[in-house]
Structure 1
Amino acid sequence: MKNIWTIFSTDWKNIATNWVAALLIGGLTILPSLYAWFNIEASWDPYSQTDQLPVGVVNEDKGATIRDKEIDVGKELVTKLKKDDNFDWQFTTKDKAMDKLEYGDYYAVIVIPENFSEKLSTVMNDEPEKSQVQYYVNEKVNAIAPKITEKGASVIVDQITSNFVSEVNGTIAELFNDLGVELEKDLPDIKQFEEYVFKLEKNLPEIHDLISSSYNDSKRVSTIINDVQGLLPQAKNVTNQGLNTIDETTAFLKEAEQRLNELAPKVEEDLKKAQQTAQDVNAFLSEARSADIDLSSSKAIKDQISKQTKESNQQLEEIEKLLQQLKEQQQNSQSGNETNGEQGEGNNASQQSIDQAIKEVQAIQESLSNIQSDSTELETLLSEQQGEIDDTLKTLQNKSKSTADQIDAFVKEYNNNIEPKVLAEIESAKQTLQNARSILGEVQSTIPEVERILANTEGNIAEGQDILEYMLNEYPYVNAKVNELADRIRDIQGETDINEIIELLKNDPAAEQNFFAEPVQLNKNALFPIENYGTGMTPFYTVLSLWVGALLLVSLLSTEPHHSNVHRNYERYFGKLATFISIGILQTLVVTLGNIFLLQIGITETIPFIAFGLLISVVFMTIVYTLVSVFGDVGKATAIVILVLQIAGSGGTYPVALLPEFFQSIHPFLPFTYAVDLMREAVGGMVKARVQTDLLYLLGFLLLFLSIGTFLKGPLSKGTKKLTKKSRESGLFH
């Protein structure tokens, strides 16, 4: 231990007594801090200086028209960029801008093409096209500048996009607001439409049944029409025959009426004669009763009565024949009416009157026959007994009187009822036949129209059958779609309320436009705030300066003591190590205190920052010194190689996740990894667990290289000396 102290104290005594050595050591103490300070200052806040980067802007946009509204996005962008100081915007032509970019005067050029606004306007078309901004960059001018200018170009695109989205969404918001108002007005109709859909869904089976029934009925109607069309010729014939029959019956009635008019006077005359005969018989019998009857003249009386009754019977028979003829005429008339579909109720009444008249005539004939028989009986009685003559005459008188009365009553009945009724019925039958003929005439004239209608109806029914058949074929599709629509409406009703949709659509267009101009605001919440980029790079450059300081020391100072009385390798190792560490501590105090007070870096934990720096300096100096002390010039080269690997693989500048796989794999084995992380904890704010981890790993590196120096310096010293001697013999190394 004494020898170690002797080596250490002697080195500092020599420094203190030799002004050149003191000056060199002073330079080695300050020089590493300059390396850190210059780099930190240079990277203090480079992004705040982008206004000095010249970027060319070329506007070739010719504008466009959207719904009668002129737009010129390129012109608006130029106006805004002239007020923007993020970059040194240079507005020029494309040729001049490309020349300056190629020469290096511009770091980038942004070109707005002539169809920029035109393509933006296609947003209103069915197939919108994206507008493009051409961005040119000269990447050989600087490694970082293209990334910065690219960020500027992105800002321009984002600004255009934001403004465009704001305008478009403002327009859409106005349309949505109008749509919401219209929906609110049409809400009763929408509700009614929903009810219609549900009602249609419910009634579709019944509609299907009706269509099927109509289709079947149309087939039956077609058959009926065909049958009717087949019967029309027969109907024509029947109508023509009916008209002929009516004409014949009318003519027959006229003839009957004329005959009746001709017979009526004769019938009346014959009835009067029969009545007079009955009266004469009655008068004759009265005289016969009142006078003495000559029985010998009974035969004459009988002959007289027989003659008169015979004449009356002949007259009555003539009347009966006329009535029979009239009856036949009435029956013929009735038969004609029935053939033409007429009901002859009046004819029936007339026939009943004629039949009654015939019966009455037959009754009178019978009475006259009785009188004639009685007259025969009178003759017989006169020959037998006179006493009964009076009774017989009385009976004859009564019968003749009754007959006369019957004839008288029949005459009145004939004159008052039979003849007028028969004439009236004939006239009624003629009128009925005339009406029937008029109807049949209309039927006859209507048959061609019926034929035409039936032909048209047959065509319409055929067309209707096609439509009904099409409807039946399409029914499954319609049924499925209506049910699908109804289910969708029910789903929508279950998922949301149309009133909520209306409220969603109704909005303030200006507020919506402002919202879409910046729909998301980024609120930065820094967990461990860092003032600027230079502060963030302070841990890396500080640690790097400590390693560089160690390299400078081993390059200029000897790692071997010049005291010949010290022979133990570990004493020589630790003696010179103490000198190197002491100088490294001075380097660390200069750089850390300079960061705090000279650069005024915002360090959260100043005391830990200095303490961590001192520990890191001890670890780094031990590593570098041990490599050179044990391995000589090979150790120097090894220390430089480790430095290079640590700059790239420690994650001091770029996140480890962005590094190549090789550097990611060596990252956990590099002292820089834990030194930079430990200094970051002091600069930004400490997490105790990370500090403990970093300290453990750094102490582990310290113990490792102390062990190497302690146990390997002696065994490897002879070989190291030979390598050093051999290298110096070349005249290239000192």
Structure 2
Amino acid sequence: MWSIFTKDIKNIFTNWVAAILIGGLTLLPSLYAWFNIEASWDPYSQTDQLPVGIVNEDTGATVRDKEIHIGDEIVKELKKNDDMDWQFVDRKEAMDKVEYGDYFAVIVIPENFSKKLGTVMKDRPEKAKVEYYVNEKINAIAPKITESGAGGIVDKITSNFISTVNGTIFDKFNELGLEIEKDLPDIKKFEEYVFQMEDKLPEIQTLLNESLADAQNAQNIIDDAQALVPDAKRVTGEGLQTIDETTTFLKKAENRLNQIAPQVQKDLEEVQSMATKVNEFISNVQTSNINLNQGQQISEQINEQIASSMKNIEAVEAALKQLQEQNNNEQGTNQNQEQIDQALEQLAVLKKELQSIQQGGQRINTFLSDKQQEVDGLIAQLQERSAKTANEIDAFVKEYNENIEPTVRQEVANAKKTLGDARGILIEIQSTLPEVEKILSNTEGNLGEGEETLKHILAEFPYVNDKINQLADRIREIQGETDINEIIELLQNDPEAEKGFFEEPVKLNKNSLFPIANYGTGMTPFYTVLAIWVGGLLLISLLATGIHRSEGFTEKQIYFGKLFTFISIGFVQTLVVTVGDIFIMGVDIAEPVWFILFGLVSSLVFILVVYTLVSVFGDVGKAMAIVLLVLQIAGAGGTYPVALLPEFFQSIHPFLPFSYAIDLMREAVGGIVWERVYRDLMFLMIFGLIALLIGTFLKGPLSKKTKALMKKSKESGLFH
């Protein structure tokens, strides 16, 4: 083994071609790492060379009588910003250039941008939108960078907007604090009012229930009244008809009274005259010598006179009865009725007296012949009754002229006036009935609405009751926990200080436990480990894993002899790349010595793995080493966190040497946590030990098959 190793080292230093090739092999992996580290050093410092179009279409807005132009303000700020190469153009030019690839992205501020932001002062604010167009096919990273820039614009707008709005709000809060302090007595009264409301809620509920019952009763009354309106219309119409008929009848009665009054007066005068004549006749008879033989003649004369008087009295009686009947039909007054009844009674008395005289005249004729002696007495009696009757007739005529006829006429006139007034009232009632009907209808509708309102209020009353109780409880709770004077003091804080706070309410205080200077430094562990593996691949591609003359050497001797050569060159490659990272690239390494030592350990393990694969399996081993490289680049977590990788790569991650080598180098770059170093070293040693065991025990048994396979591949003319 030592002989093979020393011979290889001697050949490197004695053969200039070999020396140049080995020199190239030691340098090439370093270039791979250094170029990638340099390219990744600080890519975001060059974003000012990324052209991004800015289109401002904002037309501004008026908020509380103040003109605002947020779009112009954004453009003004971006012109002072050099994070990217901002290009201020119109929409058409911007869209043409982003489609062609001249712009990586375009940000459009729409015309309603200020207007949307201004809705914050309204009941329903609307969010403003910024349009963002990106050409993602140009580059994989550039869209993320431009998107970050667009997000930065939005964040800046949001921050300024929030600070401005909150500054305004706290200005109002300051004013509100002063107002609350001024209105503190009213607030106390409000608290008392809430507590009173809480106490009155049961009474209010009772009153609402009673009001609902009253409304339902009123509805029934309205329904009854509406049902009576048609009857009222009918009765009013019938009343008017009755009044009109009665008035007509009264007019007829009045006309009839006017017609019969002269006749009645004439008849009464004739009765009065007859009574006087009868009285004079009896007086003459009394003073003259009466011949009893002339009794028949005297009786006939008396009967004739009395019959004429009776006829006249009956005519008057008939007229009065007719007047009495009319008076009954006209519903006259009691006084009018009594006058007529009294007159009829007096006429009946007169008729009775006349009839008595008539009977007395008949008795004269009867008794003249028999009772001469009684003639004088009877005549005297007749004369007395005749005089009395004449006086009564005179009194009745006087009573009729002075009282009966004027009273009847007055009562008729009064009845006509009363009927006229009644008719006017009924007409007024009749004209009012439609209005009454309308009022009843409106009242019914209002009552219905009121009843529905009361029902709604009663339905909502439990909610109101709960809310008022909650409000009262909350006020008591606040009173127990918070002093309103403290709230007033809080509201009266400095608005400018509050504005500054909300512009940046949380300030990130970054504390880097293991500070990394830049992105290139952060990628150094990955690219350095990758370069070490690539160096191993270059070695197995150019250097032979066997010897030309193998006589006298065992397969194990050949394996270990060549392994020492590969390890030695691998160490040189690792020293070049790690020392170059520190001194040529200027990477800020926290533990540079350990960085170099960890690199040598990684190189040892990688060479063991790669060399063993090729030494044992030949060309198949080379393919296996390349496949392993591909899997480790994707699955070792060198660029992206393992948690972000697909499930397959997450599952193979623990079985890849890269995973532990990169982690080991990161410890040296950022700062060492020895527990992690021990773990990583342990797993790397396991990978190296496995490779060493495979080479030690499988090199010999598989040697013939590997050589036969390589010979067959060379026969194809495609492989060396």
Question: Which deviates more from structure 2 when the two are superposed, residues 617-626 or residues 657-666?
Answer: 657-666
How far off its partner does 1:46 sit? 1.8
Cα deviations across residues 68-106 of structure 1 (Å, max 9, x unaligned)? 8766554333212101121122445778878987997x5
How far off its partner does 1:332 sit? 0.8
The correspondence for 2:628, drawn from 642, 657, 660, is 642
Cα distance in 2 between the residues matched to 1:688 and 1:415: 161
Residue identity in the other structure for 2:53? V
How far off its partner does 1:624 sit? 1.4
Kindly report which structure 2 residues correspond to 1:76-225, keeping only aligned pairs within 5 A, or say none: 76-91=73-88, 106-108=102-104, 110=106, 112=108, 133=131, 135=133, 137=135, 139-140=137-138, 142-156=139-153
The correspondence for 1:536, drawn from 522, 531, 536, is 522
Corresponding residue for residue 39 of structure 2:
42
Question: Which deviates more from structure 2 when the two are superposed, residues 613-622 or residues 659-668?
Answer: 659-668
The correspondence for 2:328, drawn from 338, 352, 355, is 338
How far off its partner does 1:706 sit? 1.6
Q: Which has the larger radius of gyration?
A: 1
Corresponding residue for residue 670 of structure 1:
656
Q: 1:653 to 1:218 in 2, by over 3 A?
A: same
Residue 251, structure 1, aligned to residue 249, structure 2: no
Kindly report which structure 2 residues correspond to 1:462-477, keeping only aligned pairs within 5 A, or say none: none
Kindly report which structure 2 residues correspond to 1:275-354, keeping only aligned pairs within 5 A, or say none: 300=290, 321-343=311-333, 345-354=335-344
Corresponding residue for residue 550 of structure 1:
536
The correspondence for 2:697, drawn from 678, 701, 711, is 711
What TM-score comes out, normalization by structure 1 length?
A: 0.65
How far off its partner does 1:622 sit? 1.3
Cα distance in 2 between the residues matched to 1:440 and 1:177: 81
Say which SS state the counterpart of residue 654 (structure 1) adopts: coil
Residue 55, structure 1, aligned to residue 41, structure 2: no
How far off its partner does 1:352 sit? 2.5
Is the contact between residue 573 and residue 709 of structure 1 (CA under 8 Å) also seen in structure 2?
yes
Say which SS state the counterpart of residue 63 (structure 1) adopts: coil
How far off its partner does 1:424 sit? 2.3
Say which SS state the counterpart of residue 110 (structure 1) adopts: strand
Corresponding residue for residue 428 of structure 1:
407
Cα deviations across residues 162-200 of structure 1 (Å, max 9, x unaligned)? 77899999999999999xx9xx99x99xx9xx9999999
Structure 1 gaps, min length 5: 285-296, 384-388
Kindly report which structure 2 residues correspond to 1:598-617, keeping only aligned pairs within 5 A, or say none: 613-617=599-603
Cα deviations across residues 323-380 of structure 1 (Å, max 9, x unaligned)? 4433321221122233344456413333224314532663586489679969988996
Corresponding residue for residue 639 of structure 2:
653
Corresponding residue for residue 698 of structure 1:
684
Question: Which deviates more from structure 2 when the two are superposed, residues 709-718 or residues 15-24?
Answer: 15-24
Cα deviations across residues 387-424 of structure 1 (Å, max 9, x unaligned)? xx9xx99xx59x968984x7777766665677325642
Q: 1:264 to 1:327 in 2, by over 3 A?
A: closer
Cα distance in 2 between the residues matched to 1:382 and 1:565: 222
Q: 1:321 to 1:694 in 2, by over 3 A?
A: farther
Kindly report which structure 2 residues correspond to 1:404-415, keeping only aligned pairs within 5 A, or say none: 404=384
Cα distance in 2 between the residues matched to 1:690 and 1:363: 161
How far off its partner does 1:630 sit? 2.3
Residue identity in the other structure for 2:606? F
Is the contact between residue 44 and residue 535 of structure 1 (CA under 8 Å) also seen in structure 2?
yes
Say which SS state the counterpart of residue 57 (structure 1) adopts: strand
How far off its partner does 1:672 sit? 1.9
Residue identity in the other structure for 1:88? D
The correspondence for 2:559, drawn from 559, 568, 573, is 573
Is the contact between residue 267 and residue 313 of structure 2 (CA under 8 Å) also seen in structure 1?
no
Corresponding residue for residue 266 of structure 2:
262
What TM-score comes out, normalization by structure 2 length?
A: 0.66
Aligned-pair identity in percent equals 39
Residue identity in the other structure for 2:42? D
Is the contact between residue 540 and residue 653 of structure 1 (CA under 8 Å) also seen in structure 2?
yes
Cα deviations across residues 5-47 of structure 1 (Å, max 9, x unaligned)? x777887899899999999878866764554454334323322
Is the contact between residue 52 and residue 84 of structure 2 (CA under 8 Å) also seen in structure 1?
no
Say which SS state the counterpart of residue 81 (structure 2) adopts: coil
The correspondence for 1:75, drawn from 72, 75, 78, is 72
Cα deviations across residues 138-162 of structure 1 (Å, max 9, x unaligned)? 844x543343234334444665677
Corresponding residue for residue 630 of structure 1:
616
Q: 1:572 to 1:335 in 2, by over 3 A?
A: same
Question: Which deviates more from structure 2 when the two are superposed, residues 16-25 or residues 61-70?
Answer: 16-25
Is the contact between residue 350 and residue 421 of structure 1 (CA under 8 Å) also seen in structure 2?
no
How many residues are matched?
675
Kindly report which structure 2 residues correspond to 1:472-483, keeping only aligned pairs within 5 A, or say none: none
How far off its partner does 1:266 sit? 4.8
Cα distance in 1 between the residues matched to 2:174 and 2:304: 117
Corresponding residue for residue 479 of structure 2:
none
Is the contact between residue 70 and residue 114 of structure 2 (CA under 8 Å) also seen in structure 1?
no
Is the contact between residue 59 and residue 112 of structure 1 (CA under 8 Å) also seen in structure 2?
yes
Cα distance in 2 between the residues matched to 1:541 and 1:361: 162
Cα distance in 2 between the residues matched to 1:692 and 1:363: 166
How far off its partner does 1:255 sit? 3.8
Is the contact between residue 197 and residue 482 of structure 1 (CA under 8 Å) also seen in structure 2?
no
Cα distance in 2 between the residues matched to 1:701 and 1:402: 180
Residue identity in the other structure for 1:534? G
Cα distance in 2 between the residues matched to 1:74 and 1:667: 49
Cα distance in 2 between the residues matched to 1:535 and 1:310: 175
Is the contact between residue 667 and residue 673 of structure 2 (CA under 8 Å) also seen in structure 1?
yes
Residue identity in the other structure for 1:135? Y
The correspondence for 1:362, drawn from 352, 358, 372, is 352
Say which SS state the counterpart of residue 89 (structure 1) adopts: strand
Residue identity in the other structure for 2:703? S
Question: Which deviates more from structure 2 when the two are superposed, residues 164-173 or residues 564-573?
Answer: 164-173
How far off its partner does 1:300 sit? 5.0
